[in-house]
Amino acid sequence: MLDQRLVRERPNLIAHELERRGIKLDLNSLQQIAQQQRDLEEQRSKLQSRGNLIGKEVGEKIRQGFDPKAPEIRELRDQGNQIKQEVALIEEKEKTISAVLKEKLLSLPNLPSPECPDGKDEKDNQEKYRWGAPRQEANLEEHWEIANRIKLFDTERTAKISQSRFVTLLGQGARLERALINFMLDLHTSKGYQEVFPPVLVNTASLKGSGQLPKFADESFRCIDDDLWLTPTAEVPLTSLHREEILAANKLPLKYVAYSPCFRREAGSYGKDTKGLIRLHQFNKVELYWFAHPEKSKEAHAQITNDAEAVLQALELPYRVIELCTGDLGFSASRTFDLEVWLPGAQAYREISSCSVCTDFQARRSSIRTKEGKTTRLIHTLNGSGLAIGRTMAALLENGQQQDGTVKLPEALVPYFGSDLLQPDFRY
């Protein structure tokens, strides 16, 4: 959430930065609401100070021997009661206008970093560098063709269980999914991350805190009878892990890694990637999350990106790093590096991780601060996929496919899977 002080004092700055995102917005009305809220706050504070002084004066006169029922005391108490009534009225107005202001601020995205390249959409994203040598042979299969041939999953039977865009992993496919999750968790915990296994159902406050609500309500699955939603990413519960807390500065950064199932409607993507593991309503993901000191979040962003890259390198998967332009940034992000893995069957790079620094945007929505001496400040949050499991499996299938129909797995995964090959399975 954006700082109300900026809305009051520097609305032109906010308008300019949002325009970099492609959002043209007249902030005059919002500025007026913010100023009105501030004026009411100051009025209430002054009245409460006067009321406190009157209370002290009453106490002092009684200590001096005045009769509590004396006219002087009664007059002071009448003044105090009048002030209390005025304060109550102001508090009601303040409550109403604060709710309006908060609702409007919750709908505005984070401001882009000055280092974020300007651009309208994904076409203006900038490639930073590449790692690994992409396979370029002709007639390579796409991952869903390989998976169907060696029977790693079943989508037709799954549609009878639920609906389209869900998948049931079978045999080696199920074992490979489990192996990838354990491999990624072990790799990240060896680098100092604390493992977390959060709830799959999260409340509305958690989704607002991370920035998914109110903007992305249509993308989420909701439990109608409860204030609960299926989590779209472990970023949501991890953000709220320290909601309304003050974190000691000498304990930062706090680094978490969490495996979770993720659920998304993919409302705006019908017709895209309808086959295979790229775009499902339910998928598994290992998420990296940092609570960082605000002066060290730039270094933290580089490190969380490197930690996500380490998975791809260990699995010997070629990839490239893309910096998103302002027009392609996620709602809560200030700056983002995407990792795109090479899929030789599709002859294309596809996103497999998005590593973002959110500055104090989520911390303000979730009231997460740090304290140094007597100074309290909002912390910075960062998140990154480390990695999306289904897309990692797709990349392994396409990069490891062999002429004899098997799939060669990278050495790092063998202790987890139990073999270096996926082979045709005729049991299903």
Cβ within 8 Å of residue 97, ≥6 positions away: 33, 36, 37, 40
Residue 274 — very low, low, confident or very high, per pLDDT cuts 50/70/90? low
Cβ within 8 Å of residue 64, ≥6 positions away: none
Catalytic annotation, pick one of 20, 264, 365, 369: 264
Prediction pTM value: 0.91
Catalytic annotation, pick one of 178, 243, 279, 377: 279
Angle at 352 between CA 350 and CA 353, to 5 degrees: 130
pLDDT of residue 270: 53
pLDDT of residue 428 exceeding 70: no
Catalytic annotation present for 369: no
Mean pLDDT in the chain?
93
Mean pLDDT within 88-117: 94
Angle at 31 between CA 244 and CA 102, to 5 degrees: 30
Residue 377 — very low, low, confident or very high, per pLDDT cuts 50/70/90? very high
Catalytic annotation present for 220: no
pLDDT of residue 267: 59
Which class for 71: exposed (0-12), middle (13-18), buried (19 or more C-beta within 10 A)? exposed
pLDDT of residue 269: 54
Length of the chain: 428
Q: State how far the Cα of 8 lies from the Cα of 30, in Å rounded to an integer.
A: 8
Catalytic annotation, pick one of 210, 354, 366, 385: 354
Catalytic annotation present for 279: yes
Mean pLDDT within 364-380: 94
Q: Which domains does the chain have, with CATH numbers?
A: 4-106 (1.10.287.40), 122-422 (3.30.930.10)
pLDDT in tens, 277-299: 888 999 999 999 999 999 999 99
Catalytic annotation, pick one of 9, 219, 316, 351: 351
Q: State how far the Cα of 104 lies from the Cα of 27, in Å rounded to an integer.
A: 11
C-beta separation of 340 from 392 below 8 A: no
pLDDT in tens, 149-161: 999 999 889 999 9
Residue 15 tokens read as 């308008």
Catalytic annotation present for 351: yes
